[in-house]
Amino acid sequence: MGRPPSPAQRAVQITFVLKGHLKNVQVAYIRVAALLARVRDEKLYRALGHATMDDYAAARLRLQHAQLYRYLAVYDWIREFHRPWLARRPKGFIPELTDAQALMWIEHRLRDPHLSDGLRTELERLRAKALASSRKHASRDAGTRRRCAPFCARSAPRAGGSPAFRGCRRSPSIHSMH
């Protein structure tokens, strides 16, 4: 019989499993959004006797309008800008829902041809910072996976989480510029 794992080894094991579960949460919100979009696009809510998508979501899923809108808006954005996230087993970084909404806002604003140069520069900086942060997290997670491999019974997907957005959602300089 081998020695029981040390507290550090147990902590690494638990952290590894937690990252897998967090990644599953991020993939799950994309799957929920994709299925809601399918119900919307194919008007499947009518087959269940609902006049609107809002009625269907409230009655069948207990989703209020704002929640439904967030899922559908994020799905439409992912479909347009980040299609690989829709894969059955997406690879790499997937931001948390709130971070995805911040990145979505930035990318939509960047498409505005009337955006001031100052705001465009600041938004491009924030977008680059967020995407660089996601790559940094992905490479750091890969290193953790290599170190954890001897202690983990099976491989779990890595989780994201971008500190790059922590300040940008509330940044007065972003919201006050036009």
Q: Is the pLDDT of residue 104 over 80?
A: yes
What's at 163, amino acid-wise? Answer: P
Rounded to the nearest 10 degrees, the angle between the axes of helix 7-41 and helix 117-148 is: 130
What distance in Å separates the CA atoms of residue 178 and residue 78, rounded to the nearest whole number? Answer: 25
Residue 152, pLDDT above cutoff 70:
no
Give the pLDDT band (50/70/90) at residue 137: low
pTM as predicted? 0.64
Which residues have C-beta within 8 Å of that of residue 38, sequence separation ≥ 6?
A: 44
- What's the whole-number average pLDDT of the chain? 78
Cα separation of 113 and 116, whole Å? 9
Q: What is the pLDDT at residue 133?
A: 60
- pLDDT of 114 reads 93
Percent of the chain with pLDDT over 70: 73
